[in-house]
């Protein structure tokens, strides 16, 4: 630690200007990410992040959750409705929702904030796409307005990657279902008003799965908070359902279509996580450039050491390649192309870039990079989940391997 600067307020918060963060977003004037409307959206997000998130993030990390007021504020600014169908109260494309997440991270937020604030992005798309008008009015519109917190409950203690093996049972009883089972690792689960829950209404395998919206204030629902390595400001819960009576009117789409709905919506979730991964990498590049300019060792700034300069050049290359590839796959997916293989490759490409860059960023920050409250330390911990959630790296490779004809 000899010679290391004492952590000061300057190291604990972002000191990059929002202008710098906007520049990091890159993109030529011709591309879809840089239209005048989207540049304005970027500025709105940069301002929102600087005012509402950066000054409070350390406290929310300690609290283990985001405040409801943040959802209301984001909803009022129209940031939560992006990428949802117009019929459900949405506007724009998935690219717009991705742009918001990207800019939030580039401006000093984090993937943890994205996980907690944008959980509706995984919690209610199924309802927006397959729900009836009553469900859209009760669940989707309040979520997009930031008035309702939503979760997606798929993973169980004994079934994660293997979604088709889930055992939470929903038994039909008159005009209701009675639900028994458990879900784990559920993002925003301690605060959620509703959980879009994958339940078994039929026999074994994927055809027996349905989606049911469970309000968390129903008798028989209990939940406990899980502590974890990163994403501290995003609460994560274990949920138990003991004889929970849920109206059949909460069934999303037809009985037995839950697995298909989940798989369809995985595409958007994986793209969102890939965007968070390359944005985290880019943010760490930016922070490391600032640091390397300011930090002096043996009489010169780190930025003058060729080995350091080349490492940062490599970090920038990895972030740029990931961004370019993910944006390309996103555009092709939005155009309706079959990009199942590329989507899996894009998530893994962005996660690999992120893992490598956050590691180098911490290394080049020296002891300071290991200090609690320093931004690269938070990104280092937050990044680890991106290769596990929404389909682990190995599952992505299984998808690719299958498409390569390796199934036999
Ligand atoms: C912070 C956090 C937030 C989450 N949020 C949610 C949420 O909101 N909703 C929700 O439903 N779930 C959520 N999850 C769960 C997440 O989606 C699962 O953890 C993930 O899908 C992996 O499932 P698992 O943990 O059961 O791992 P397992 O399925 O047990 O797999 C363990 C590991 O084995 C490897 N593996 C698994 N299968 C294979 C295979 N066939 N071939 C090769 N390797 C394999 C992978 O590396 C995998 O990571 C969250 C998890 C975390 C940690």
pLDDT, one tens digit per residue, over 327-350 is 999 999 999 999 999 999 999 999
Q: Residue 156, SS3?
A: strand
CATH architecture of 260-403: Up-down Bundle (1.20)
Residue whose Cα lies nearest atom 50 of ligand 1: it is: 185
Angle at CA 231, nearest 5°, toward 71 and 81? 30
Q: How far apart are CA 337 and CA 332, in angstroms?
A: 6
Q: How far is the CA of 391 from the centre of ligand 1 (A)?
A: 6
Q: What CATH number was assigned to the domain covering residues 150-256?
A: 2.40.110.10
Residue 21 pLDDT: 67
CATH architecture of 15-144: Orthogonal Bundle (1.10)
Residue whose Cα lies nearest atom 31 of ligand 1: it is: 161
For ligand 1, residues with CB inside 6 Å are: 151-155, 160-161, 185-187, 228, 231, 236, 385, 388-389, 392, 394-395, 398
Residues of the chain with CATH 2.40.110.10: 150-256
Nearest to 325 by CA among 298, 351, 289: 351
Residues of the chain with CATH 1.10.540.10: 15-144
Out of 238, 269, 342, 375, the active site residue is: 269
The list of the chain residues with pLDDT below 70 reads: 1-30
Q: How far is the CA of 161 from the centre of ligand 1 (A)?
A: 5
Residue 74 pLDDT: 98
Residue whose Cα lies nearest atom 17 of ligand 1: it is: 389
Q: How far is the CA of 394 from the centre of ligand 1 (A)?
A: 10
Using a CB cutoff of 8 Å and minimum separation of 24, what contacts does 338-342 make? 340/267, 340/399, 340/403, 341/399, 341/400, 341/403, 341/404
86 in catalytic set: no
Phi and psi of 196, rounded to 5°?
-75, 110
Q: How far apart are CA 184 and CA 119, in angstroms?
A: 15
Residue 259 per-residue DSSP state: H
Q: How far apart are CA 105 and CA 114, in angstroms?
A: 8
Pocket of ligand 1, candidates 389, 390, 391, 400: which has the most ligand atoms within 8 Å of its Cβ, to mutate?
389
Residues of the chain with CATH 1.20.140.10: 260-403
Residue 10 pLDDT: 38
Residue 148 pLDDT: 98
Terminal alpha carbon distance of the chain: 56
Q: Are 196 and 126 in contact (CB under 8 A)?
A: yes
Residue 3 pLDDT: 34
Q: Pairing relation of β-strands 300-301 and 209-215?
A: unpaired
């Amino acid at each position: 630690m000899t010679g290391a600067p004492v952590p000061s307020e300057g190291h604990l918060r972002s000191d990059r200007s929002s202008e710098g963060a906007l520049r990091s977003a890159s993109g030529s004037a011709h591309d879809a990410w840089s239209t005048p409307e989207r540049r304005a959206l970027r500025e709105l997000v940069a301002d929102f992040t600087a005012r509402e998130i950066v000054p409070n993030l350390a406290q929310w990390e300690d609290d283990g959750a985001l405040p409801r007021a943040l959802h209301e504020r984001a909803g009022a600014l129209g940031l939560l409705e992006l990428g949802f169908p117009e019929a459900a109260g949405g506007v724009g494309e998935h690219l717009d929702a991705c742009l918001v997440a990207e800019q939030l991270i580039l401006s000093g937020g984090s993937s943890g904030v994205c996980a907690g604030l944008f959980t509706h992005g995984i919690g209610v798309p199924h309802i927006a796409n397959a729900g009836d008008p009553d469900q859209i009015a009760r669940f989707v519109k309040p979520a997009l307005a930031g008035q309702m917190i939503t979760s997606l409950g798929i993973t169980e203690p004994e079934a994660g990657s293997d979604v088709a093996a889930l055992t939470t049972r929903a038994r039909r009883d008159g005009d209701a279902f009675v639900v028994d089972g458990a879900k784990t690792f559920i993002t925003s689960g301690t605060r959620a008003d509703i959980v879009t829950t994958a339940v078994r209404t039929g026999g074994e395998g994927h055809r027996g799965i349905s989606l049911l919206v469970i309000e968390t204030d129903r008798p028989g629902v209990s939940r406990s908070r899980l502590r974890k390595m990163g994403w501290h400001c995003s609460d994560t819960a274990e949920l138990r359902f003991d004889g929970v009576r849920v109206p059949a009117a909460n069934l999303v789409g037809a009985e037995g279509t839950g697995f298909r709905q989940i798989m369809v919506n995985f595409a958007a979730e994986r793209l969102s996580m890939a965007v968070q991964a390359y944005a985290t990498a880019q943010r760490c590049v930016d922070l490391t450039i600032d640091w390397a300019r300011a930090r002096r060792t043996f009489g010169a700034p780190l930025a003058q050491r060729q080995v350091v300069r080349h490492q940062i050049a490599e970090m920038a290359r990895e972030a740029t390649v990931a961004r370019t590839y993910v944006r390309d796959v996103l555009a092709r997916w939005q155009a309706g192309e079959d990009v199942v293989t590329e989507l899996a490759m894009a998530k893994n490409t962005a996660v690999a870039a992120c893992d490598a860059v956050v590691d180098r960023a911490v290394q080049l920050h020296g002891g300071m990079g290991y200090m609690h409250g320093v931004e690269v330390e938070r990104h280092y911990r937050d990044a680890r989940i991106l290769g596990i959630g929404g389909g682990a790296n190995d599952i992505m490779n299984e998808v690719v391997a299958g498409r390569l004809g390796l199934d036999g």
